[in-house]
Amino acid sequence: MTGGAGYIGAHTVRALHAIGRPVIVLDSLELGSAAAVLDLPLVVGDISDEALVEQICRDHEVDTIVHFAAYKNVGESMKLPAKYFHNNVDGTVHLLDAAVRAGVRHVVFSSSCSVYGTPASVPVDESQPIHPESVYAETKAIVERVLHWYGVVHGLESVSLRYFNAAGASFDSAIGEDWTYALNLIPVAIRALLTGDQELQVFGDDYPTPDGTCIRDYIHVDDLAQAHIAAIDYLAAGGDSTAVNVGTGLGSSVFDVLRGIERLAGRPVPHHVVDRRLGDPVSTFSDPARSFAVLGWQPKYGLDEILSTAYRWHVAQLEGPAGPG
C-alpha cells in the first residue's frame, strides 16, 4: 500500500489488518505518520524508486497494490504544477513499471470526484464527462488513463475509486486527519472552534441552495476503507478494470456541517462569510448505485458519525496525541 501512513491509507491499513489481510506499507513519511501504521511492516521510500518497489513486491509476493501516494493540495497544484505531474503521474508510472516486472496483477487507485470538474448535473454518476479544473484533478485523470493502457498492454487490472469528501476519524480515536495539513472544511472548522487560533472562512452564502452555502457529499473514512477492500476483492474475483464513484449520495451544506459541530461542542464555530471561491460548484454529490452494483459496497455512516468521530479525535489530540493519521 503506497501512502499507507497518510489519512485514508492508515484507515485502510487498519481495516485490512482487522480481517487478517497481510499488508506492507510504502510511504515517504513526507506527509504521513509512522505511528498511524501501528506495528505493521513499513518501508520508508518513494514510489518512483523502481528497484525498491520491485524488491518489496518480490520479497512479499505482492499481488495487489493500493495506491494512495500523491500530493493533493488543489491550490498548490495550480502554483506548482511540475511538483504534481512529477510525483502524481511520473511517480505512478515508475511504480507501475516496477510492479509489472514483479508480477503484480491488480491495482486499486485513489482517484477523485474532482476529475468531473463542475458536474453538469447531480447526483454525479460515472457517465458524466471527465473535465478536470485543476492540475491536481488532471493528474488523477491522467493516471486513470495510464492504468487503462497498462491494462491493454500488460494485462494489469485496476479499479479507480473516485472519492467524494473523505472525513471523520476512527471510532476508537486512534487515528484521524491531522489539521496541520488539512484544507478540508471539517478539520478546519473544528480547529477554529477548539483552538481559536484562526477563524473559518465560509466562501459564499448566496448560492441557490436552501441555506445559501455549497453542498458536498461527505463520506466517513472507515466507509472509504471498506470500499478499498471491496475493490481488492472484486479484482481478486476476476473483475475487469473500471472506475467507480465512492460517496453516500447525500449532500450536506457548509452550514449543515457547522451546525453539527456546534451541537457536539455546545458553542459556535468562529467563522465569517467571504466572497465565493472561483471554481467551487454549487452542489456536488454522488450517485452511489454503481458502487453497490459493481463492488457490493455501500456506506454505513452519515454526517453525524463523521462529525462525532472527527470531533472526539481532535479533542484527544489536544489532550495528548494517540497517533495521527
Secondary structure (DSSP) of 103-136: T--EEEEEEEGGGG-S-SSSSB-TTSPP---SHH
pLDDT (mean) for 234-239? 98
The pLDDT > 90 percentage for the chain reads 85
Q: Would you state the pLDDT for residue 63? A: 96
Catalytic hit among 116, 136, 207, 301: 136
Q: Would you state the pLDDT for residue 196? A: 83
Distance CA 304, CA 149 (A): 41
pLDDT (mean) for 48-57? 98
pLDDT (mean) for 126-132? 94
| Per-residue pLDDT reduced to its tens digit, 250-274 | 999 999 999 999 999 999 999 999 9
Distance CA 87, CA 79 (A): 15
Residue 286 DSSP label: B
Nearest to 25 by CA among 7, 3, 54, 48: 3
Q: Are 203 and 274 in contact (CB under 8 A)?
A: yes
* pLDDT tier, 322 (very low <50, low <70, confident <90, very high otherwise): very low
pLDDT (mean) for 83-104? 98
pLDDT (mean) for 35-59? 95
User: Domain extents for the chain?
Assistant: 7-319
Omega within 30 of 0 (cis) for the link into 132: no
Instruction: Give residue for cell 452511489.
Output: 288
Distance CA 95, CA 93 (A): 5
pLDDT (mean) for 132-154? 96
* pLDDT tier, 323 (very low <50, low <70, confident <90, very high otherwise): very low
Question: Exposed/middle/buried for 219, CB within 10 Å: 0-12, 13-18, 19+?
Answer: buried
Which residues does 4 contact at the CB level (< 8 Å), separation at least 6?
Answer: 10, 12, 13, 23, 25, 26, 27, 32, 37, 42, 66, 68
pLDDT (mean) for 69-76? 90
Res 325 pLDDT > 60: no
Res 160 pLDDT > 90: yes
Q: Would you state the pLDDT for residue 279? A: 67
Run of H or E including 200: strand 200-203
* pLDDT tier, 281 (very low <50, low <70, confident <90, very high otherwise): confident
Res 321 pLDDT > 80: no
**How would you classify the pairing of strands 271-274 and 200-203?**
parallel
234 is catalytic: no
User: Which SS3 state, helix, strand or coil, does residue 220 take?
Assistant: strand
Res 59 pLDDT > 90: yes
- Least confident window among 13-27, 219-233, 307-321: 307-321
Distance CA 217, CA 1 (A): 26
CATH classification code of 7-319: 3.40.50.720
Q: Which three cell numbers stand for residue 43?
A: 518501508
